[in-house]
């Protein structure tokens, strides 16, 4: 009987092709990526069928947490610096270069203006951890209105987006909307999660 010889094949695989693919994908992701902005709080937005996309830039965001604290944030490093300058002259609080830089990197914050300086003095990792009290929105001390007004002065193109937690009590939302309306902002966006349109 003839022997059946199994040809021994080398187990060495040519990796070049795989390497090519991997780097192609890597390049793609590196170019398309836009890092998730770090949010100081996580909120679960309610769902809606609306499919309007939020524009990429010129967004002024008002985040409202479950327990009714209000956070405020604007995008654009340059605009944030401008905004802080306006607040600084209005409230007569001088900010140092480091504080201004720290502010220009803050995507959203929820501290009253008098406490802003000490908040910005904290090291970045501590700033993330502390519980921020939220921006006052009472009628007697409505700092949100001040921020909105000065934000719009810093960049008139800002659109206002409200990111509210679904379980947030309505009176807070009512106050925020009333604040917006008192500054003649009658058009704004509510950030929601996408939900499938039900059949009717």
Query: Could you list the residues that contact another protein (CB under 8 A)?
Result: 14-19, 22-23, 25-26, 29-30, 32-36, 45-54, 56, 64, 161, 163-171, 173-174, 177, 180-181, 184, 186-195, 197-198, 200
* Helix (H), strand (E) at residue 125: helix 124-129
CA-to-CA separations, 62 to 74, 162, 181, in angstroms, rounded: 9, 5, 14
* Residue 37: closest CA among 82, 74, 84: 74
Q: How far is the CB of 189 from another protein (least distance, A)?
A: 4
The smaller minimum CB distance to another protein, of residues 43 and 87, is found at 43
Q: Are 188 and 54 in contact, with CB atoms under 8 Å apart?
A: no
The one-character DSSP state at 137 is B
Q: Name residue 70's beta-bridge partners.
A: 64
Smallest gap from Cβ 55 to another protein, in A, equals: 8
- Whose Cβ is closer to another protein: residue 149's or residue 177's? 177
State which residue, 8 or 187, has the beta carbon closest to another protein.
187
Nearer to another protein, 38 or 98 (CB): 38
Closest separation between CB of residue 54 and another protein, Å?
5
Q: Are 60 and 73 in contact (CB under 8 A)?
A: yes
**Two structure tokens written together for 163:** 């990111």
Tokens found for residue 108: 């959203």
1 vs 31, which CB is nearer to another protein?
A: 31
CB of 200 to another protein, least distance (A): 6
H or E stretch at 49: none
**Minimum distance from CB of 113 to another protein (Å)?**
25
Give the β-pairing of 59-64 and 159-164. Answer: parallel
């Amino acid at each position: 009987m003839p022997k059946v010889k199994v040809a021994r094949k080398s187990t060495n695989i040519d990796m070049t092709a795989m390497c090519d693919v991997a780097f192609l994908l890597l390049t793609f992701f590196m170019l398309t990526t836009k890092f998730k902005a770090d949010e100081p709080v996580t909120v679960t937005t309610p769902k809606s069928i609306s499919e309007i996309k939020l524009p990429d830039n010129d967004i002024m965001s008002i985040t409202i947490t479950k327990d009714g604290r209000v956070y405020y944030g604007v995008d654009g490093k340059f605009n944030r610096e401008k905004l802080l300058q306006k607040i600084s002259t209005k409230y007569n609080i001088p900010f140092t270069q480091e504080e201004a830089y720290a502010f220009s990197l803050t995507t959203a914050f929820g501290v009253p203006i008098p406490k802003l300086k000490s908040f910005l003095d904290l090291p970045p990792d501590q700033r993330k951890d502390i519980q921020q009290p939220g921006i006052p929105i009472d009628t007697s001390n409505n700092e949100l209105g001040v921020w909105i007004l000065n934000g719009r002065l810093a960049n008139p193109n800002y659109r206002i987006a409200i990111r509210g937690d679904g379980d947030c009590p309505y009176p807070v939302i009512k106050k925020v909307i009333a604040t917006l309306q008192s500054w003649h902002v009658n058009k704004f966006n509510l950030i929601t999660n996408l939900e499938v349109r039900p059949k009717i």
